[in-house]
Structure 1
Protein backbone atom coordinates (compact mmCIF):
# COMPACT_ATOMS: atom_id res chain seq x y z
CA UNK A 1 0.00 0.00 0.00
CA UNK A 2 1.13 3.53 -0.54
CA UNK A 3 2.29 5.82 2.25
CA UNK A 4 -0.15 8.52 1.22
CA UNK A 5 -3.36 7.34 2.84
CA UNK A 6 -6.68 9.03 2.17
CA UNK A 7 -7.32 12.27 4.02
CA UNK A 8 -10.77 12.90 5.47
CA UNK A 9 -11.81 16.50 6.09
CA UNK A 10 -15.19 17.39 7.57
CA UNK A 11 -16.34 20.84 6.41
CA UNK A 12 -20.07 20.59 6.96
CA UNK A 13 -22.14 20.89 10.13
CA UNK A 14 -20.03 23.35 12.15
CA UNK A 15 -22.13 25.35 14.60
CA UNK A 16 -21.53 29.05 14.75
CA UNK A 17 -21.45 31.10 17.94
CA UNK A 18 -24.50 32.99 16.73
CA UNK A 19 -26.65 29.84 16.51
CA UNK A 20 -25.59 28.82 20.04
CA UNK A 21 -26.60 32.23 21.43
CA UNK A 22 -29.96 32.09 19.65
CA UNK A 23 -30.68 28.65 21.13
CA UNK A 24 -29.75 29.63 24.70
CA UNK A 25 -31.71 32.93 24.61
CA UNK A 26 -34.86 31.20 23.33
CA UNK A 27 -34.57 28.59 26.10
CA UNK A 28 -34.26 31.36 28.74
CA UNK A 29 -37.35 33.15 27.51
CA UNK A 30 -39.51 30.10 28.08
CA UNK A 31 -38.55 29.58 31.72
CA UNK A 32 -41.07 28.98 34.49
CA UNK A 33 -40.06 32.08 36.40
CA UNK A 34 -38.21 30.34 39.18
CA UNK A 35 -35.07 30.00 37.12
CA UNK A 36 -36.06 26.54 35.91
CA UNK A 37 -36.95 25.89 32.30
CA UNK A 38 -40.62 25.55 31.53
CA UNK A 39 -42.24 22.67 29.65
CA UNK A 40 -41.93 24.50 26.32
CA UNK A 41 -38.23 25.05 26.87
CA UNK A 42 -37.73 21.40 27.82
CA UNK A 43 -39.61 20.24 24.71
CA UNK A 44 -37.70 22.74 22.58
CA UNK A 45 -34.44 21.48 24.10
CA UNK A 46 -35.33 17.85 23.45
CA UNK A 47 -36.44 18.65 19.89
CA UNK A 48 -33.25 20.63 19.35
CA UNK A 49 -31.15 17.75 20.72
CA UNK A 50 -33.01 15.21 18.58
CA UNK A 51 -32.51 17.46 15.55
CA UNK A 52 -28.80 17.80 16.37
CA UNK A 53 -28.44 14.02 16.71
CA UNK A 54 -30.31 13.56 13.41
CA UNK A 55 -28.04 16.06 11.68
CA UNK A 56 -24.98 14.46 13.27
CA UNK A 57 -26.13 11.08 11.94
CA UNK A 58 -26.67 12.54 8.46
CA UNK A 59 -23.27 14.21 8.66
CA UNK A 60 -21.67 10.95 9.72
CA UNK A 61 -23.38 9.10 6.85
CA UNK A 62 -22.28 11.74 4.34
CA UNK A 63 -18.74 11.72 5.73
CA UNK A 64 -18.57 7.92 5.61
CA UNK A 65 -19.93 7.96 2.05
CA UNK A 66 -17.33 10.51 0.95
CA UNK A 67 -14.54 8.83 2.90
CA UNK A 68 -15.62 5.44 1.57
CA UNK A 69 -15.33 6.75 -1.97
CA UNK A 70 -11.88 8.14 -1.18
CA UNK A 71 -10.75 4.88 0.40
CA UNK A 72 -12.18 2.90 -2.53
CA UNK A 73 -10.35 5.11 -5.02
CA UNK A 74 -7.12 4.75 -3.03
CA UNK A 75 -7.52 0.95 -2.98
CA UNK A 76 -8.15 0.89 -6.73
CA UNK A 77 -4.96 2.87 -7.36
CA UNK A 78 -2.99 0.64 -4.99
CA UNK A 79 -4.35 -2.45 -6.76
CA UNK A 80 -3.32 -1.09 -10.17
CA UNK A 81 0.16 -0.32 -8.88
CA UNK A 82 0.52 -3.78 -7.33
CA UNK A 83 -0.68 -5.50 -10.51
CA UNK A 84 1.81 -3.56 -12.65
CA UNK A 85 4.67 -4.39 -10.29
CA UNK A 86 3.73 -8.09 -10.28
CA UNK A 87 3.46 -8.14 -14.07
CA UNK A 88 6.95 -6.62 -14.40
CA UNK A 89 8.36 -9.15 -11.91
CA UNK A 90 6.78 -12.09 -13.79
CA UNK A 91 8.06 -10.80 -17.14
CA UNK A 92 11.57 -10.40 -15.70
CA UNK A 93 11.52 -13.97 -14.38
CA UNK A 94 10.30 -15.26 -17.74
CA UNK A 95 13.16 -13.42 -19.48
CA UNK A 96 15.66 -14.95 -17.04
CA UNK A 97 14.31 -18.44 -17.63
CA UNK A 98 14.43 -17.94 -21.41
CA UNK A 99 18.01 -16.67 -21.18
CA UNK A 100 19.15 -19.63 -19.07
CA UNK A 101 17.36 -22.08 -21.38
CA UNK A 102 18.87 -20.50 -24.48
CA UNK A 103 22.34 -20.52 -22.92
CA UNK A 104 21.97 -24.17 -21.90
CA UNK A 105 20.78 -25.10 -25.40
CA UNK A 106 23.65 -23.16 -26.98
CA UNK A 107 26.13 -24.84 -24.63
CA UNK A 108 24.71 -28.27 -25.49
CA UNK A 109 24.97 -27.53 -29.22
CA UNK A 110 28.56 -26.28 -28.82
CA UNK A 111 29.47 -29.38 -26.82
CA UNK A 112 27.95 -31.65 -29.47
CA UNK A 113 29.81 -29.84 -32.27
CA UNK A 114 33.08 -30.04 -30.33
CA UNK A 115 32.58 -33.76 -29.69
CA UNK A 116 31.92 -34.32 -33.41
CA UNK A 117 35.02 -32.36 -34.40
CA UNK A 118 37.18 -34.27 -31.90
CA UNK A 119 35.86 -37.60 -33.22
CA UNK A 120 36.54 -36.47 -36.80
CA UNK A 121 40.09 -35.45 -35.87
CA UNK A 122 40.69 -38.77 -34.08
CA UNK A 123 39.47 -40.72 -37.13
CA UNK A 124 41.82 -38.74 -39.41
CA UNK A 125 44.85 -39.76 -37.36
CA UNK A 126 43.61 -43.34 -37.05
CA UNK A 127 42.53 -43.33 -33.40
CA UNK A 128 39.17 -44.73 -32.32
CA UNK A 129 36.40 -42.40 -31.30
CA UNK A 130 34.97 -42.25 -27.77
CA UNK A 131 31.99 -44.38 -28.77
CA UNK A 132 34.28 -46.95 -30.43
CA UNK A 133 36.46 -47.13 -27.30
CA UNK A 134 33.34 -47.64 -25.16
CA UNK A 135 32.17 -50.46 -27.48
CA UNK A 136 35.59 -52.08 -27.21
CA UNK A 137 35.46 -51.88 -23.39
CA UNK A 138 32.06 -53.57 -23.37
CA UNK A 139 33.33 -56.32 -25.71
CA UNK A 140 36.44 -56.82 -23.57
CA UNK A 141 34.24 -57.05 -20.46
CA UNK A 142 32.03 -59.65 -22.13
CA UNK A 143 35.11 -61.64 -23.24
CA UNK A 144 36.56 -61.46 -19.73
CA UNK A 145 33.32 -62.90 -18.34
CA UNK A 146 33.45 -65.78 -20.87
CA UNK A 147 37.07 -66.52 -20.07
CA UNK A 148 36.24 -66.55 -16.35
CA UNK A 149 33.34 -69.00 -16.87
CA UNK A 150 35.50 -71.17 -19.12
CA UNK A 151 38.26 -71.22 -16.49
CA UNK A 152 35.75 -72.29 -13.78
CA UNK A 153 34.40 -75.01 -16.04
CA UNK A 154 37.92 -76.34 -16.72
CA UNK A 155 38.74 -76.22 -12.99
CA UNK A 156 35.59 -78.21 -12.17
CA UNK A 157 36.43 -80.96 -14.69
CA UNK A 158 40.04 -81.20 -13.61
CA UNK A 159 39.30 -81.24 -9.94
Structure 2
Protein backbone atom coordinates (compact mmCIF):
# COMPACT_ATOMS: atom_id res chain seq x y z
CA UNK A 1 0.00 0.00 0.00
CA UNK A 2 2.91 2.29 0.74
CA UNK A 3 4.17 1.71 -2.79
CA UNK A 4 0.74 2.53 -4.21
CA UNK A 5 0.60 5.69 -2.15
CA UNK A 6 4.05 6.63 -3.40
CA UNK A 7 3.06 6.00 -7.01
CA UNK A 8 -0.03 8.20 -6.63
CA UNK A 9 2.03 10.95 -5.01
CA UNK A 10 4.64 10.69 -7.77
CA UNK A 11 1.90 10.82 -10.37
CA UNK A 12 0.36 13.87 -8.72
CA UNK A 13 3.76 15.52 -8.53
CA UNK A 14 4.47 14.71 -12.20
CA UNK A 15 1.05 16.05 -13.25
CA UNK A 16 1.60 19.22 -11.22
CA UNK A 17 5.07 19.70 -12.72
CA UNK A 18 3.73 19.04 -16.23
CA UNK A 19 0.93 21.54 -15.70
CA UNK A 20 3.46 24.09 -14.45
CA UNK A 21 5.70 23.48 -17.51
CA UNK A 22 2.70 23.78 -19.84
CA UNK A 23 1.76 27.03 -18.10
CA UNK A 24 5.31 28.36 -18.45
CA UNK A 25 5.49 27.24 -22.08
CA UNK A 26 2.26 29.16 -22.73
CA UNK A 27 3.70 32.26 -21.06
CA UNK A 28 6.89 31.83 -23.08
CA UNK A 29 4.85 31.57 -26.27
CA UNK A 30 2.94 34.71 -25.33
CA UNK A 31 6.16 36.61 -24.57
CA UNK A 32 7.72 35.44 -27.84
CA UNK A 33 4.61 36.42 -29.79
CA UNK A 34 4.67 39.82 -28.13
CA UNK A 35 8.35 40.36 -28.97
CA UNK A 36 8.05 39.01 -32.48
CA UNK A 37 4.78 40.86 -32.97
CA UNK A 38 6.50 44.12 -32.04
CA UNK A 39 9.34 43.40 -34.45
CA UNK A 40 6.86 42.38 -37.14
CA UNK A 41 4.81 45.53 -36.54
CA UNK A 42 7.91 47.75 -36.85
CA UNK A 43 8.93 45.91 -40.01
CA UNK A 44 5.45 46.33 -41.49
CA UNK A 45 5.49 50.05 -40.68
CA UNK A 46 8.86 50.46 -42.45
CA UNK A 47 7.60 48.58 -45.49
CA UNK A 48 4.40 50.62 -45.45
CA UNK A 49 6.34 53.89 -45.36
CA UNK A 50 8.54 52.78 -48.24
CA UNK A 51 5.52 51.68 -50.27
CA UNK A 52 3.66 54.91 -49.51
CA UNK A 53 6.64 56.96 -50.66
CA UNK A 54 6.96 54.93 -53.85
CA UNK A 55 3.21 55.02 -54.52
CA UNK A 56 3.07 58.77 -53.79
CA UNK A 57 5.73 59.39 -56.42
CA UNK A 58 3.77 57.39 -58.96
CA UNK A 59 0.51 59.11 -58.00
CA UNK A 60 2.14 62.54 -58.26
CA UNK A 61 3.38 61.65 -61.74
CA UNK A 62 -0.05 60.39 -62.73
CA UNK A 63 -1.70 63.52 -61.33
CA UNK A 64 0.71 65.69 -63.34
CA UNK A 65 -0.15 63.75 -66.50
CA UNK A 66 -3.88 64.12 -65.87
CA UNK A 67 -3.49 67.86 -65.23
CA UNK A 68 -1.47 68.20 -68.44
CA UNK A 69 -4.11 66.37 -70.49
CA UNK A 70 -6.88 68.41 -68.85
CA UNK A 71 -5.03 71.64 -69.63
CA UNK A 72 -4.59 70.64 -73.26
CA UNK A 73 -8.27 69.70 -73.47
CA UNK A 74 -9.26 73.06 -71.93
CA UNK A 75 -7.08 74.97 -74.39
CA UNK A 76 -8.40 72.94 -77.30
CA UNK A 77 -11.99 73.48 -76.19
CA UNK A 78 -11.38 77.21 -75.77
CA UNK A 79 -9.87 77.40 -79.26
CA UNK A 80 -12.77 75.45 -80.72
CA UNK A 81 -15.25 77.67 -78.88
CA UNK A 82 -13.50 80.79 -80.24
CA UNK A 83 -13.83 79.41 -83.78
CA UNK A 84 -17.52 78.60 -83.25
CA UNK A 85 -18.11 82.05 -81.79
CA UNK A 86 -16.32 83.72 -84.69
CA UNK A 87 -18.29 81.70 -87.24
CA UNK A 88 -21.53 82.56 -85.43
CA UNK A 89 -20.64 86.27 -85.40
CA UNK A 90 -19.86 86.15 -89.13
CA UNK A 91 -23.17 84.42 -89.91
CA UNK A 92 -25.18 86.86 -87.79
CA UNK A 93 -23.39 89.87 -89.29
CA UNK A 94 -23.99 88.54 -92.80
CA UNK A 95 -27.68 87.95 -92.09
CA UNK A 96 -28.08 91.43 -90.60
CA UNK A 97 -26.38 92.96 -93.69
CA UNK A 98 -28.69 91.04 -96.01
CA UNK A 99 -31.80 92.36 -94.28
CA UNK A 100 -30.44 95.92 -94.27
CA UNK A 101 -29.40 96.40 -90.65
CA UNK A 102 -26.38 98.70 -90.51
CA UNK A 103 -23.16 97.51 -88.89
CA UNK A 104 -21.63 99.06 -85.77
CA UNK A 105 -19.05 100.86 -87.91
CA UNK A 106 -21.74 102.22 -90.23
CA UNK A 107 -23.76 103.51 -87.25
CA UNK A 108 -20.62 105.07 -85.76
CA UNK A 109 -19.80 106.79 -89.06
CA UNK A 110 -23.38 108.04 -89.37
CA UNK A 111 -23.31 109.35 -85.79
CA UNK A 112 -20.08 111.21 -86.50
CA UNK A 113 -21.55 112.65 -89.70
CA UNK A 114 -24.77 113.75 -87.93
CA UNK A 115 -22.70 115.46 -85.24
CA UNK A 116 -20.71 117.28 -87.94
CA UNK A 117 -23.87 118.35 -89.76
CA UNK A 118 -25.47 119.47 -86.48
CA UNK A 119 -22.43 121.59 -85.73
CA UNK A 120 -22.61 123.12 -89.23
CA UNK A 121 -26.33 123.87 -88.92
CA UNK A 122 -25.87 125.43 -85.49
CA UNK A 123 -22.99 127.51 -86.82
CA UNK A 124 -25.06 128.76 -89.75
CA UNK A 125 -28.04 129.39 -87.47
CA UNK A 126 -25.89 131.60 -85.25
CA UNK A 127 -24.65 133.49 -88.28
CA UNK A 128 -28.20 134.13 -89.49
CA UNK A 129 -29.33 135.40 -86.08
CA UNK A 130 -26.47 137.90 -85.94
CA UNK A 131 -27.41 139.59 -89.18
Look up the match of 2:36: 67
- Counterpart of 1:22 in structure 2 is none
- Which of these residues, 53, 62, 66, is aligned with residue 97 of structure 1? 66
Taking structure 1 as the reference length, the TM-score comes to 0.44
* Aligned residue pair count: 93
User: For structure 2, which runs of at least 5 residues remain unmatched after alignment?
Assistant: 100-131
Report the CA distance between 1:133 and its aligned residue.
4.3
Does residue 16 of structure 2 align to residue 47 of structure 1? yes
Which residues of structure 1 form unaligned runs of 5+? 1-30, 116-128, 144-159
Q: TM-score, normalised by structure 2?
A: 0.51
Instruction: Please list every run of at least 4 consecutive aligned residues from structure 1 whose deviation after the TM superposition is greater than 3 angstroms.
Output: 101-109, 129-134
Taking the aligned partners of 1:78 and 1:85, their CA distance within structure 2 comes to 11
Q: Which has the higher contact order (CA 8 A, sep 6+)?
A: 1
Tell me the equivalent position of 2:93. Answer: 135
